[in-house]
Chain A
Amino acid sequence: MERIIVLALVFTSFGLLMWKMINLLKGKDSCSGCGSYKECVKKMSIGKSCYGKDK
């Protein structure tokens, strides 16, 4: 039972990581600062920092 739970957790993590990676590749979630590639591009289009979420 313990083995099944652990393996389930491992495969779930793997699935989530892959999902995250695919999102990154699609450009949906490229920057951990603003969480969206499009937002990031807007913020970065002329400048400096993209860390700011909307404050």
Chain B
Amino acid sequence: MGKKKVAIALSGNPNSGKSTIFNNLTGAHQHVGNYPGVTVEKKEGKLNFQGYEINVVDLPGTYSLSAYSDDEIVARDFIIKEKLDVIVHIVDSSNLERNLYLTTQLMELEVPLVLAMNMSDMAEKKGQDMDYTKLAELLGVAIVPTVGNKNKGTKELLETIVKVYKGKIKTKGVRIDYGPELRDEMNKLDKVVKRDISLVGRYPLRWLIVKMLENDSLVLDILSKSSVAQEAIAQNEKSRQHIKLHFGDIPETIIADRRYGFISGACMETLKLSIEQRHDLSDRIDKVILNRILGIPIFALVMYAIFKFTFTFSEPIVGWFEKFFEWMGGIAAIYIPEGLFQSFVVDGLIGGVGGVLGFFPLVLFMFFAIAFFEDSGYMARAAFVMDKLMSKFGLHGKSFLPMMISTNGCVVPGLMATRTLESKKDRLITMMVTPFMICGAKLPIFALFIGAFFPAKQGANIMFLMYVLSVIIAFGSAWILKKFVLKGETSHFVMELPPYRIPTIKGLLLKMWERGWMYLKKAGTIIVLISIIIWAGFTFPQISPGEGASEETTTFIQMEQSYAGRIGKFVEPVVKPIGMDWRGGVALITGVVAKEVVVSTFGTMYSLGEVDVEDAGSLQEALQKDKFWNPLKALAFLMFCLIYLPCFVAIAVFYRESGSQLKWTLFLIFWTTVMAWGVSFIVYQGGRLLGFGV
């Protein structure tokens, strides 16, 4: 029986020691020819090892696999067409970041990859201390340190090649995340390209798409001959144009940036530098921002700055919006005859929806500030900084992303973003704690109560305190869950560190609007509908006023004895220990439909409670005037809103994303509600014991 044949190719940068390794492997058994059609030298050789006949091709030395030179085209065509068993990528360890750029492109070709970390002695002399095992895990490849000119590591390299060939070492080439904007465009191209099955059979799909966005002439040529040519090229043009507009730069640059970001993140995780210094600007900024001691305080400062900016600049505009809705209510009260329909419009629609829409500017300012830090490249660093802290609490580094998405807008996409977590347990833990974040829907509740019960200058401070508390609660919950419920090890991954950029105004405004639109859309649909139902809940059944009762007393009795009032009274004993009355109970129940509804419920209640509609003030003023409330009760209420169960949509998505497991969904509902009640109880009763709010 003949020996089993293994086909491998050596790739690498020029001067990476590729030829030396090739000579070490093949000895005298080599011959030189040309690749067909080009004058690029083709060196081939063979050797026998552990019963295998290994055929080795030395590919031309290249820095990348673009279509700029014959060498690059030959190398990548050979890799794609020859269906090699293993690619050995020779990396100059002393010049790691530049060499790994080619690695990222080989990873995209989805080939079994072994990295020979050559000149490892030189790297050590330069003061580098590399964690090869971790790097291999992060990149999803096999790694062997070698010293070509001393023929060190050759045997280990061959052993690894055979193991990869036999499948004893799995290489899976981790996918680089090119960021949300590029990802969106890649998804659009994906939809079009994969319709041509023959194309997908011949080339790795993701590689094709990345190359299309890079405007690779040869890939575009291949595509022009496909059955989806017209549509794919048109979509590619659109996608490239969109990326250009968003980043103010061509996609090739953005893609290269992301690859270097990925490399930078991988090196940061695995490489310790003792002598070599990094000098470029990004590295110098990172030295401060990613500093072990300063990293977290800087992140806290950034979050504080976001809240400060939001509250300071949105305050006057929120005031105008509130005045506008007050004015609208007044006008409607004048032109619609007094009665049920007037109450429907003024108290139900304007009072309910207006309360939510009044905070629209605040939401926009918040999204703008967060988009600024995202686009500048800081948020990726924040994930890196938080990774170490999060792992101590049993959270995966990738958990930062879903939690940040929830803070940036909505828990629903946050829950879906947990799909990036491979371990089911890590994913479930992240899904359990993601709803604790302050989403865009909770913002109006905080803005309303903070504005009503705390000094204006303290707004950002209280909001920041709430944010810190949400993080503490999320981390604490994760720790408990990991320790007692979902035990297991947390895996590692590469955190991309893209270079810093100055965000474009257009990009920021676009992001702000996309997220703001979500808020508006919700206000125009679910909030309108639920506001009407809440109004009806407080209006029916209609109670006949007793003789001699004042208008104020009649309104109060009507609300208390309405359907909503009865529900509120039913839950009052549960919410009383946390400082609420029946009205707070109703608002918390309706808030399950959507968190903004807490505000619209109060809007409707206080609007109905106003004896003279034309003299009605803003909702904040109405809350201030209500003697029931004080800052301690407001704080306890906010704590409850911060922690208690997520909205209906988020619960439905949680159910789906947890694999339709009812037990976990019920656990989420139980966990968040009990925790919310417990924390609010401590805040309220503790505050009272300390003499606040008595």
Contacts and interface: CB of A to CB of B under 8 A. Distances in A.
A42 B209 CA distance: 16
Contacts of B150: none
Contacts of A25: 652
A16 B525 CA distance: 9
A7 to B, nearest CB: 8
Main secondary structure of the interface of A (DSSP, over half): helix
Given A27-B656, A31-B410, A3 B340 contact: yes
B409 interface: yes
B3 to A, nearest CB: 41
Interface in A1-53: 2-3, 5-6, 9-10, 13-14, 16-17, 20-21, 24-25, 27, 30-33, 37, 40-53
B419 A33 contact: no
Contacts of B529: 13-14, 16-17, 20
Main secondary structure of the interface of B (DSSP, over half): helix
A17 B526 contact: yes
Contacts of B95: none
Contact of B339 (A2, A41, A46, A49): A2
A46 B514 CA distance: 20
Given A14-B533, A42-B187, A43-B187, A50 B416 contact: yes
A53 B183 CA distance: 13
A41 B412 CA distance: 11
Contacts of B515: 51
B505 interface: no
Contact of A48 (B401, B412, B521, B653): B401
Contacts of B187: 42-43
A47 B180 contact: yes
Given A6-B341, A31-B412, A13 B526 contact: no
A49 to B, nearest CB: 4
Nearest to A53: B514
Nearest to A25: B652
A45 B656 CA distance: 14
B518 interface: yes
A14 B344 CA distance: 14
Contact of B410 (A17, A32, A45, A46): A32
B548 to A, nearest CB: 26
B530 interface: yes
Nearest to A49: B180
Contacts of B409: 33, 51
B10 interface: no
A30 B411 CA distance: 11
Contact of A32 (B175, B242, B518): B518
A44 B340 contact: no
Contact of B416 (A5, A6, A24, A40): A40
Contacts of B420: 46-47
A24 B649 contact: yes
Contacts of A55: 242, 510
A52 B526 CA distance: 20
Interface of A: 2-3, 5-6, 9-10, 13-14, 16-17, 20-21, 24-25, 27, 30-33, 37, 40-55
Q: Which 9 A-B pairs have the closest CB atoms?
A: A44-B416, A49-B180, A13-B532, A48-B180, A50-B413, A17-B529, A10-B536, A51-B514, A13-B529
